[in-house]
Every structure is written in structure tokens, then in C-alpha cells.
Amino acid sequence: MTLTIQLPDAFTRTLPDGATGADLARSIGPRLLEAALAIRTDARLQDLATPLSDGARVAVVTAKDPEALDIIRHSTAHLLAQAVRNLFPAAKVGIGPIIEDGFYYDFLVEPFFTPEDLVAIEAEMRRLVQVAVPVVREELDRDEAIHRFEALGEPLKVELVSAIPEGQVITGYRQGDFYDLCRGPHVPDTGKLKAFKLLYTAAAYWKGDEKNVQLCRIYGTAFLTQKELDEHLQRLEEAKARDHRKLGRELDLFSFHPEAPASPFFHPKGTVIYNELLAYLRSLYARKGYHEVITPQALDVSMWKTSGHYEKYQENMYFTEVDEREYALKPMNCPTHCLIYGTGKHSYRDLPIRYADFGRIHRYERSGVTQGLTRVRTFCQDDGHVYCTPDQMTVEMAAFFDFLREVYRTFGFNDVRVALSTRPEKRLGSDEVWDEAESALAEALREAGMEYHINPGEGAFYGPKIEFQVLDALKRPWQLGTLQVDYSMPARFGLTYVKPDGSEGTPVMLHRAILGSLERFLGIFIEHCAGAFPVWLAPVQAVFLPITDRTHDYARKLQAQALELGLRSELDLRNEKVNAKIRDAQLQKIPYMLVLGDREAADGTVSVRHRKDGDLGVQTVDVFFDRITTEIRQRVL
């Protein structure tokens, strides 16, 4: 008996009964067999050792295919676990998924692995690559799998297997003496894994629950070629140099303290940047028809029950009790804006009404996921809510898209990616309402000519949303802005407006943000510009550097003029050589350094040095002040 296999190029291949994906690759040619990593049968990824069925559509997956990198990284995670078990037999194995840019594997081990251990583990991984250990898939029922992992002394795996419904086929993979639970697929042998690197360790709770045992997580990365790996490692080094936590300390912008976990303290220089961001957004709000409001921090839980947050979001909220009443710190501003809207009567002629709010909000984030400014427990958003009629939605969305593009261009984010996040499992409202809201967002994107992809189930509990991602200087994606359509909350708060025919209608509520959390945006932007802020945002825009004591009075005079113009400047009167002063100003990433010697004092000039462009020569004071104030006014990058 023979098998007829359909190939992607519309050709067929005849193979003997029982032939596998590897046999198919071998029949086409030795080069393909050497390059083969897995197969795709009827759109499903499987191992090369999988037996083929008659009439199946089969493609051999090689490094040229988009799925190849995930297979390599998943297989490398298993290689890591095998190496750990070889070197540290007492270590218990957890889970080892792929993540963006790499993989990790969790281990129950005491003490945690050291950097020296990682070197030894990676060396063992490379030894196993040289041996080319076969990777073999096996199918087990649940009892067999539990017995297998109990015999191996792997309690975490036993726990995972025990949660699998009875009767469901369980797959495991054997690599020499190592055995792991996995759906696969994997490479046929460890010899296919050549370009990888272990990066660092971190603590992680089993299943992400702080009540569970703490594990040692090893992070690593893998690529298809050494060249790609080297380029990635170089980007990581650049990212370390740009890390906003490191730069925040060096530039004296912010700090964190155990007295307020995951809550940033902004120092004077950081506060300058923060306030400049607010001032910039406020200047735009004045042009875009937004009215800024201020709302309370803590509100009675009855309001949060009305909004739906108490039911759908309370695990992320902080609660307190005062005068025998239960309050919650606000995690979002939207319900408070509904209360403001509801204080008056509105006609269709009044709409749209656009509220903006920079109020502080609080959300509980587990300690294991907080990270610098990019994941905090208290923050402020450039939050806005638009109340409009259904007929006004399209125009309002288009105006928001233009608004967002203008802001992103100001910060040099010109590459923007768009996603439409649809209904989550935990949500308010009927399917009909969600259908209408999702269609409205999709139609707005189409009319704006914006390409987008779907994020299934990632919408907010009260409505679907458009998410906007920007790419930073290292080409890393960051999600910033959002636009959400909400039919539920206005109805739950009983909000109305008078229609042209005199009847009452319920307004649509558009939730929108451009920068999102200002704390998070600041962390992202610090890394984007490596702490070298554009002049308009820089905490210190210019520093005066007198060469000798004789020019101190001239320096003081110029700084007074700078202050009159609203420039943020410093005066360096230290008894140091001017080159040392320039070096220190460079380290603080101050945009302009003004060197003042006897000649400059006599001529009424300044010797201008730029942190990036170097020596700009001698200029009159008026020319320099005109230059820097123009850059600030135009928000030049």
C-alpha cells in the first residue's frame, strides 16, 4: 500500500505506507532533510517523525518558514531543562514556554542558580547539541503520565498532569534520560539547536500565584542563525544602556522606596519633565475642544458597583473603610466622568462633550510583575472621555486618530501599529451591543485607511478597543494609546440626551488615551531617547560654564537673562577645569553647554557646545537665546 501526499507546489509525492514527515523530506532530497525542522499537515504543526496519512497536504518546515523560530525556541527550552537535570539532579522541573524574543524555564531548586551556574548549564547544552540527542514524542494516558513523573521525582509535572481531564491524550518528549510534558512539536534532535544564549535568572511563583512555592526562572534566547543571535545580543546591550531605571538614577529623575511599593517618587528634574508633558497635552486640549475636570480619589463602592468595576475588576482595586462606609481608590476615571455628565440635562446640540482628566489612579499589580515606571501601582493617564450621539462617532474617531498622530510625531514615533481588541470572556453587555461596538471601531479604522490586526478577547470588560503600538529607537513595540467604544456604562449610569424629536437617547461613551499612563510613557521615552531629552523636555536646557573666577559675574548675568526667558539653566561655578565641567554636563545629557572665557565676557558672546553636535562656535547671546527658544517653541526633536 502506498500514500499520496499533496505538496504546497501542487505536486504530489508517493510514499510507502507508514512513511513519516522525515521520509517525505528525504524523498525530496538530502538538503531538505538536513534543513527540516517539522512538518505542517493540513495547517497543523507536527514532528518530523509523525506518520503521514493518505491524501494529506504536507509542507516541510525549514528555517525559511515563520513557524521555525518558535519551534527552535521551544526545543531550546527543553534542551535547557535537560542540561539542568544533568548537572543538578535535585532540581525539579516546572514549565518552559516561549516568550517574545526567547524562552524561559522554571525550576524548584535551592539555592537559586548563580551566574556561574548559567555558564556551566550553557556549556552542557552545547555538549548535548554536539551529541545530537534524538527527541522522541510519546503518547500516554493520564495515569501512565502521573506514574511516569512520580517515578522521575517531578512533583510539579505530576500536578500539571493531574489537572488534565481524564481520557485526554497526553504527550511527552524523551531526550536521552530526560523526559518532559509537552504538546510539541520539537526538532528531531538537539543537533538542530546551535544559536542560543542563557541571559539571567529571576524569581517566579509557581503558576504565577504568590501563595505558591517560589521557583528559579532561567531566561534565554535562541535564533535560527548565529548572526541573528549576535545582533539580538547587541540590541540587548544597547537596551541595558538605555534602561530607564538606570538612567532615572543617573539623571536624578525618580526613585522607588519600600514604604510605597511600585509607586514612583519623582525628583525635581523628573517632575519638570512630567509637568512639561502635562502642559503640552493641555495646550492641545484647548485646541481640540476638551474640558479638563478634577475628580476624587476615593469613592463609595456603590458607584463601582454601578459602573461594573466591583463585579469585573475588583481584584485590581484598593479598598478602605471610613465611617462604616466602604470606599475604593479609583482605578479609572470613567465612572467619575459619568457622574459629572449626569449633573445636567443635555441636548443633542450640546454633544459631543469631551472631558479630560489627569487625576491620579491606583491599580493593584502583583509584585512579581511591577517593573520600574512601565508597570506601577499609582499613575496618571492622559485620560479622556467623549460623550456623543451614535451619528457623531465616526467624526469623533477620525478626529482622535489625527490627534494621536500629531502627538506621536512630536516624540518621533512615526511607526505606529494598530490592533482591534475584541470582547473578553469577562464583560458587561449583550452580544448585540458588542457586535455594534466592534463594528463601529472596525469601520472607523477602514475609513481612516489604517491597517490593523485582531487581538481576540483582549478588549476591556465594558467595551472593545483599538490599541496603538509605537516602535522605539531599538525597534521594540510599546502599546500606548487606546480608543474604546462603550454603550454599557452610560446606560448603567442612566445618562441621557434629548434627541431632535424630543425623545431621550443614551449617549455613546468613547474612552481614549494617547500616551496612556504618563509614568509608563516616561519610562518608554527615556529608553527611546536614551535620556537625551529634546530641549523642550530637558530638565536642564543649558548650563553656563565659566572658565575662570573672572567670568563668574558674566555667567550670573547670562543666567538671569535665561531665567527671564523661561529657560531652565544651571550655573557651574565649581573650581574645576572646563573640560571636566563639559564632561559632567555630557553625562547629565544637558542639551547646551555655554563656555564663558575672558574673550566671551568682553565681547558679549558665548561659546556654544551641543551634547550631540559638539562645538558650534562662538555666537552672540541674542543669537543663542533665539536658537534655543525657537527649538523649545517648535518642540524640535
Positions marked catalytic: 334, 363, 381, 383, 385, 465, 511
DSSP run (H or E) holding 381: strand 378-388
Closest CA to 479 of 427, 413, 533: 413
Question: Is the CA virtual torsion 100, 102, 103, 104 positive or negative?
Answer: negative
Residue 359 half-sphere exposure, CB side, CA atoms within 13 Å? 22
Other Cβ atoms less than 10 A from the Cβ of 12: the count is 11
| The pairing of beta strand 353-357 with beta strand 291-293 | parallel
Q: Please give the backbone phi and psi of residue 256, each rounded to the nearest 5 degrees, phi first.
A: -125, 150
Displacement of CA 313 from its chain's centroid (Å): 21
Which one-letter DSSP state was computed for residue 58? E
Residue 446 to residue 424: CA distance in whole angstroms: 23
Q: Is 516 exposed, middle or buried, given 0-12, 13-18 or 19+ CB atoms closer than 10 A? A: buried
Residue 90 to residue 108: CA distance in whole angstroms: 9
Residue 594 to residue 591: CA distance in whole angstroms: 10
Q: Which residues pair with 418 in a beta bridge?
A: 468
Q: Which residues pair with 610 in a beta bridge?
A: 592, 614
Residue 149 to residue 160: CA distance in whole angstroms: 10
Residue 218 to residue 97: CA distance in whole angstroms: 11
Residue 512 to residue 308: CA distance in whole angstroms: 19
* Whether the Cβ atoms of residue 543 and residue 570 lie closer than 8 Å to each other: yes
Q: Concatenated DSSP letters for 259-325?
A: TSTT--EE-HHHHHHHHHHHHHHHHHHHHHT-EEE---SEEEHHHHHHHTHHHHTGGG--EEEETTE
Residue 464 to residue 438: CA distance in whole angstroms: 6
Q: Concatenated DSSP letters for 383-430?
A: EEEEEE-GGGHHHHHHHHHHHHHHHHHHTT---EEEEEE---SS--S-
Displacement of CA 83 from its chain's centroid (Å): 31
* Whether the Cβ atoms of residue 96 and residue 159 lie closer than 8 Å to each other: no
Displacement of CA 544 from its chain's centroid (Å): 39
Residue 202 to residue 215: CA distance in whole angstroms: 8
Q: What cell was used for 533?
A: 531629552
CA angle centred on 269, ends 268 and 273, rounded to 5°: 115
Displacement of CA 627 from its chain's centroid (Å): 36
Residue 66 half-sphere exposure, CB side, CA atoms within 13 Å? 1
* CA–CA distances in Å: residue 551 to residues 565, 571, 590, 604: 21, 12, 21, 11
Closest CA to 179 of 243, 93, 113: 93
Q: Is 551 exposed, middle or buried, given 0-12, 13-18 or 19+ CB atoms closer than 10 A? A: buried
